[in-house]
Structure 1
Amino acid sequence: MTKSTSTEDSPTFIGLRGKMLQNTVSLMASVGFLLFGYDQGVMGSLLTLDSFKKTFPSIDTSRHSDAATMQGFTIAVYEIGCLFGALSTMGYGDKIGRRKCIFIGCAIMIVGAVLQCSAFTVGHLIVGRIVTGVGNGINTSTIPMWQAECSRPEGRGRLVMISGALITGGIAFSYWVDFGFYFTSGPISWRFPVAFQLIFPILIMPFILRFPESPRWLIKKSRLDDARLVFAALDGTPVDHPEVKSQLRDVQKSLEEEHIAGGDSFNFKRLFSQGEHRDFHRLMLGLWAQIFQQISGVNLIVYYAGTIFENYIGMTALNSRILAACNGTAFFLAAWIAFIFIDNIGRRKLMLFGLVGQTLSMAMLTVTTWESENKGNTGAAIGAAVLLFVYNTFFGIGWLGMGWLYPAEVPPLSIRAPANAISTAGNWSFNFLVVMITPVAFESIKSFTYLIFAALNLLMIPAVYFLFPETAGRSLEDLDAIFAQCNPWKPWTIVKIASRHPETKAKVVTADSLLEQGKVEAEMYEDSEDVS
């Protein structure tokens, strides 16, 4: 980092400042989620490869009728690793900072990927997936928080949504890699796609520690000078700019209200008490946002797209892989719709729009797959394939990035790291549940598997409408003021309270505005200690 000595210049990180630095932070975060998406999607089309089945015959459902449970466990155990990785950040996440957590997560994922691609037994593969999951759990509980804490209110949604879109980019990429290696023979057809994920953490690790640390974490650690430099670099302003001072003051005030200035006195009991800023209420909103994302049924499709097209819709191995890759690509494109609208129409409307579409898609999938399975209806099979695309489109718009953005925004700074650890652990717990039961459900109740998820999506609509407040356009500190007005015994009132709260407007820096803000700042501080 370059520290500026002139008040006319802003400090820089890796030679960047202002919007360019914000966008580069977002890009680095997105590479982490590209890795996440690739790892989510890569196994789906490998399960039916001859070389994979020969290496791991005990999870070959075509050879053993009782292998579905073991296959589901082998794939889903990755989520158990993610769960433990996410929960581990509760202990050290706030002690070592956001960047170091990401660095550690990437290092662990490298070890896990090597173990997976070198596996010759199911036990070896399971260990590799658990280790990879631990690293990914650390990353997914930290990256959205780091990105949100480094973003301006007016653009925070779009920047975090890029990461959401890159999840699907990773999924789509993994499908196309799987498809390309389908035409090869021998173990390389599955070992290379699994090993390819090594590229992403290798790209992240040399650079992540050169990026700015979260300024809010720095303030929590009483490192005000470092936080001032980061705010100034992210805003592209001098370190003594009134806006930098204002941001420092807002975060400090928020922490003082929670009585944790200094940052090392976190008490686990805080998570289960309301306090000044309604900590438990906000923890629950973040946790349920993550749970809702998973019980919508998306990973039923992400993990098993190729298998669904081939085994349950009746397509050829080649066509199923082409469609799975195209489905992942359409999923990636749909995610950018949310990027366009997230800060304009808000979080709530996108979430509700997604849920309505997901409910209808799952209900119609039940009908079309039943027709295909029981009556051999070719038109119904085509309709089911189309509906898998439709479902992913609605999910990409409404919930893909939202499940990571909302839990990063809602908790107060005092508990943000442990709250994100818990909400991310909730994501992976229910991710494991869905991925584990999917093969068993398809074997037992076949097309009615979709009906379960249709009902769950339907039930989520009123929950979001009555309980989830709008966070678009509000600074992370504004949310403290919003929740402070809510009676914790009447959580449904938060939606109306938030709707009355004005959005944080972007400030245009001009010579006149600098002068005016300087006057205002002087008045604000004439009877108090200047934070600089």
Structure 2
Amino acid sequence: MVDVKQVINKEQTDSGSISDQIELQQNYLNNDDIQNYIYLDKPWWKYSHFRWLHFYIFLITLTSTNNGYDSSMLNGFQALETWNKHMGYPEGSILGALSNGTTFGVICSFPFASFVSDKFGRKNCIICGSSITIIGAILQGASYNYAFFLISRIILGFGFGISVVSAPNLIAELSYPSYRATCTSCYNALWYFGAIIAAWVTYGTRNIVGAYSWKVPSYLQGFLPLVQVVFFFMVPESPRYLISKGKIEKARHVLHVYHTGADEDERAYRFVEFEIKEIEAALELEKIYSSSRYVDFVSIPSFRKRLFLTFFTAFIMQLSGNGLVSYYLNKVLDSIGITGTKQQLQLNGCLMIYNLVIAIFSASIIYKFKRRTVFLVCITGMLITYIIWTALSAINQKRNFEQKSLANGVLAMIFLYYLAYDFGANGLPYLYVTEILPYSHRAKGMNLFQVFQNIILLYNGFVNPVAMQAIEWKYYIVYCCILAFELVMVYLFYVETFGCTLEEVARVFGDDGTVTLKKFSTPDEKLASEHAENATNVSSTHLVGV
């Protein structure tokens, strides 16, 4: 019997250059038998290897729960008298500093996170970051005053910053191609999973006498990172990282086991070999364009537009009014006359459950819709609800909060607002930014995307509590104006990436007007084409915009 692996390896050896090898693998992929093999005839949950793969991806997505837990926990703490007493009743910028403690830590981690990820691997980087987060949670629970609590939050943020750089990359590099968009979009949806746990933990501990009403939730912030550290030995390392370190057989094993279920079919081996060559092509690109610089985002016209879209997508994600509710829900509820601790904590918990359901559902269907259209619908929905929210809050305050119907109307607008936000501003930004950035500058662009987000979070942390304390409901008018501005900017400047190959996206930015363009009618066709395109367009000039 012929050993298929030996035949393929011999063909690759005889084929010469990496470009020839890539072309050979593209021929394997374009073969009708291979195409039929790639497209699954059953739902993913009916394949045992996909069930295990997606369980591992779930463990990776737990990284994003830390920020959600932190946000919801701090919301709950502000409604607790014992916490306010220990922290010296923080208000305004003092409260803003506490809210931004984890953001400070994330910013401090940026110089180290990418180095640790590339040097020691995605998996080890996440384990390292989660371990630091556990230490920060222990210190946070042990804190007894404002300064101690703030320092522990900075340590928490530093650990999260180390792990968050690797987590989305590991998801993208492990996922089966057909599920990559959904898995990547689900990463940020798990923010709400952490928020749900924190919301109901703070609700359950609210009646504990003394400081343990807030210390218990603080300690438990380290629980999900601990789950990661304990079970992460099961998670396979990124095939891309393994190949970059010359561990090709280990990478081949990972892909064969989790992308084909260790299938002995000849097509399975050919598909795995194609994926390996695709990764090697990407690494070759990295060498060819290792001189890519951050200054390219300023000096090259097409990259200036990419920089603008990267920044503005972060702007939409973090400065559309969501930060006002995420960290200061109790102040929002105070402004409409809902001041009871129990009621505020219950509303916080229910809102997070609602958000998780909407975010996961949106991530599961987002690949079917045009990106630009989703942004426009999302922002329009947020704007309409914010306008109504503002009007009801004004009337409610004018009537001394005596009409419960007005307060209920504001609550309804908060839930409808998040329906719009979760549809287009939760998971889609990560997908859109990766699509507009070429491979040569994608890591740098994503790093800038994270920096932009955290700069905006600093604004949210310091300005929102001061403004809410000073002008209450009138501050909502600012976000109505911001949302209207976002709507105009998206309509005028955002490019559509749905149904387009990487070549077509490049041409939209003016990188190369000579390439042959392809237009696809279904997302599946696009996925198959891009899978081959990533491997074959090694030398295309449009990838670097020059």
- Tell whether 2:516 aligns with 1:485: no
Determine the structure 1 residue equivalent to 2:321: 297
Q: Match of 2:453?
A: 427
1:373-428 residue CA offsets vs partner (Å, 9 max, x unmatched): 22225232221122111112211222122234434555444444443222112212
Deviation at 1:266, TM superposition (A): 6.1
- Do the aligned partners of 2:520 and 2:526 also contact (CA within 8 Å) in 1? no
Q: Give, in whole Å, the separation in 1 of the partners of 2:159 and 2:400.
A: 44
- 1:402-459 CA distance string (max 9 Å, x none): 2344345554444444432221122122112112211111122221221212222222
The equivalent residue for 1:49 is 80
Cα distance, 1:54–1:134 mapped onto 2, change above 3 Å: same
Q: Counterpart of 1:448?
A: 474
Partners of 2:145 and 2:339 in 1: how far apart? 29
Say whether residues 1:28 and 2:59 are aligned partners. yes
User: C-alpha displacement at 1:90, in angstroms?
Assistant: 3.8
TM-align CA RMSD: 3.5
Name the aligned partner's letter for residue 313 of structure 1: G
**SS of the counterpart of 2:489?**
helix
User: What secondary structure is seen at the aligned counterpart in 1 of 2:208?
Assistant: coil
Which residue does 1:310 correspond to in 2?
334
Counterpart residue type for residue 351 of structure 1: F
1:298 shift after superposition: 0.9
Distance 1:498 1:106 in 2: 43
**Residues in 2 aligned to 1:221 and 1:280: alpha-carbon distance in whole angstroms:** 33
Question: Which stretch of structure 1 is more off in the superposition, 185-194 or 313-322?
Answer: 313-322
Residue of structure 1 in register with 2:429 after alignment: 403
Match of 1:212 among 236, 239, 246: 236
1:458-469 equivalences in 2 (<5 Å):
458-469=484-495
Give the Cα separation in 1 of the matches to 2:525 and 2:347: 44
Distance 1:489 1:375 in 2: 58
Give the Å deviation of 1:179. Answer: 1.1
Q: Residue 389 and residue 498 in structure 1: after superposition, are their counterparts in 2 closer, same or farther (change >3 A)?
A: farther
How many residue pairs get aligned? The number is 481
The question of 1:195 aligning with 2:219 is answered yes
Range with greater deviation from structure 2 (168-177 or 372-381):
372-381
Name the structure 2 match of 1:394: 420
The answer as to whether partners of 1:82 and 1:133 remain within 8 angstroms in 2 is: yes
User: Which position in structure 2 is the counterpart of 1:63?
Assistant: none
Q: Distance in 2 between matches of 1:198 and 1:48?
A: 22
**Residue in structure 1 matching 2:354, options 298, 314, 330:** 330
- Contact between 2:59 and 2:228, CA under 8 Å: does it hold in 1? yes
- Which residue does the alignment assign to 2:269? 241
Give the Cα–Cα distance (whole angstroms) in 1 for the partners of residues 255 and 439 of structure 2.
16
Structure 1: tracts of 5 or more residues without a match: 8-15, 60-66, 509-519, 525-532
Cα deviation per residue 1:332-378 (whole Å; 9 max; x = unaligned)?
22213303311222543333222111111112221111112222252
C-alpha distance in structure 2 between counterparts of 1:118 and 1:268, whole Å = 44
CA distance in 2, matches of 1:224, 1:409: 27
Aligned-partner Cα distance in 1 for 2:183–2:77: 33
Is 1:154–2:154 an aligned residue pair?
A: no
Does the 8 Å CA contact 1:145/1:408 hold for their aligned counterparts?
A: no
**2:297 is aligned with 1:272:** yes
Task: Indicate the percent of aligned positions where both proteins have the same amino acid.
Answer: 22
Is residue 271–residue 419 contact of structure 1 (8 Å, CA) maintained in 2? no
* Shift in Å, 1:270: 6.8
1:299 is displaced (CA, Å) by 1.7
1-structure distance, mates of 2:212, 2:510:
56
Q: How many angstroms does 1:185 deviate by?
A: 1.8
Partner SS for 2:77: coil
Task: For 1:22-421, list aligned pairs within 5 A.
Answer: 22-59=53-90, 67-221=91-245, 223-236=247-260, 237=263, 241-257=269-285, 259-260=287-288, 265=290, 268-269=293-294, 272=297, 282=306, 284-310=308-334, 312-377=336-401, 378=403, 379-421=405-447
Q: CA deviation at 1:174?
A: 1.2
SS at match of 1:42: helix
Change over 3 Å in CA distance of 1:506–1:212 after alignment to 2:
farther
Task: Give the 3 Å change call, closer, same or farther, for CA 382–430 of structure 1 in structure 2.
Answer: same
Please say if residues 361 and 391 of structure 1, whose CA atoms lie closer than 8 Å, have aligned partners that are also in contact. Answer: yes
Closer, same or farther: CA 374–498 of 1 in aligned 2, 3 Å: farther
- Call closer, same or farther: CA 1:394–1:87 in 2, change over 3 Å: farther
Q: Using the TM superposition, give the Cα deviation of residue 44 of structure 1 relative to its aligned residue in structure 2, in angstroms.
A: 0.6
The answer (yes or no) to whether the contact 2:114–2:165 under 8 Å persists in 1 is no
Instruction: Tell me by how many angstroms 1:312 deviates.
Output: 4.8
Alpha-carbon distance between aligned partners in 2 of 1:285 and 1:152, rounded to the nearest angstrom: 28
